[in-house]
Structure 1
Amino acid sequence: MPAEGAATAAASAPGSAPSPLVTDRGVTTVEEIVVRKLAGLAARQVPGVHALGSAARRSFDALSERIPGSRTQAGGGVAVETGQRQAAVDLIVIVDYGAPIVNVAGKIRREVVQAVEHGTGLQVVEVNITVADVLIPGDEEPPGEVDRALR
């Protein structure tokens, strides 16, 4: 992901747009975890997105949800790279069967860009999407199957 290099280039490029994060009174730094969470939450809200992450991650999350006090990470299936002014986002998604993948991917990009740029002030330079699986109705493992597989 080119965000760091792109951010450095943008900071030194003549005529680059000013950033609300870099001012004459100081610099605001947004940690990667913040961008991961915003991007993950935005992507999950897109119709046709069943989950983020791989099928193996989905099974692990199903198990961990039953452990008291544990939580599924909002940023699971999301990797980001941030600079002072820009961010790049990589997502791994599982889509619902019948959902048009190209349309879902386009909507994910729009929602992620809007959520991250609005929420952080960082310019999103790219959103890369890997469709790792398609969820076919009846394909999900019931919770008991996950338990047996782990024993």
Structure 2
Amino acid sequence: MTENTTSVGGGNRPDASVSALKGRTGAGAPAGTRGKTTVADGVVAKIAGMAAREVPGIFSLGAGMARALGAMRERVPGGGGAVTRGVKVEVGERQAAVDLDVVVEYGVSIVDVAGDVRTNVIGAVERMTGLEVVEVNIAVDDVHLPDEEQAEPDEGRVR
């Protein structure tokens, strides 16, 4: 039984018909394919989030409430999570699907930015993990206007 996998990056693997994630066992198998490699959902989410943020025209990731909660979480020591805010992934043995919630800069072509985000996310996830990205769904939740500043919570009306 032959496993059909495509080699990402021009065939750098010794045997393109063997997935480095699934691997083979036995003395005849190349050392790089002995055993199984698993990639956690959080790893794929971080890669996808970083790749999406690299695209010009992306202001931030996350829907309104997620951004607000994320901003509070970042202020708490050890809260983290900023890289994966607005990113949801589903990871299988050989494939991954990515959902992104994004805020774009005013004036950019949303269609072009979405295409660039897809290209960058697919390239980064496939290159770094060896997983095939079957889809990247993008929800544009907001447009950041040039005169909008990051809203800082007021200290309150009473002093």
Normalising by structure 2, we get a TM-score of 0.76
Report the equivalent of 1:22: 22
Give, in whole Å, the separation in 2 of the partners of 1:132 and 1:29. 32
Aligned equivalents of 1:63 and 1:84: distance in 2?
34
- Structure 1: gaps spanning 5 or more residues: 1-11
Conserved 8 A contact 2:67-2:85: no
Structure 1 runs, 4 residues or longer, greater than 6 Å off:
none
Residue in 1 aligned with 2:122?
A: 113
What amino acid is the match of 1:16? N
Counterpart for residue 70 of structure 2 = 61
Count of paired positions: 136
How does 1:1-151 map onto structure 2 within 5 Å? 16-17=4-5, 18=17, 19-25=19-25, 26-145=35-154, 148=156
Identify unmatched segments of 5+ residues in structure 2: 6-16, 26-34
- Structure showing greater radius of gyration is 2
**CA RMSD, 1 decimal:** 2.2
Please identify which structure carries the higher helix content: 1
- Identity across aligned pairs (percent)? 48
Higher RCO, 1 vs 2 (CA within 8 Å, ≥6 residues apart): 1
**Whole-angstrom distance in 2 between the partners of 1:88 and 1:137:** 32
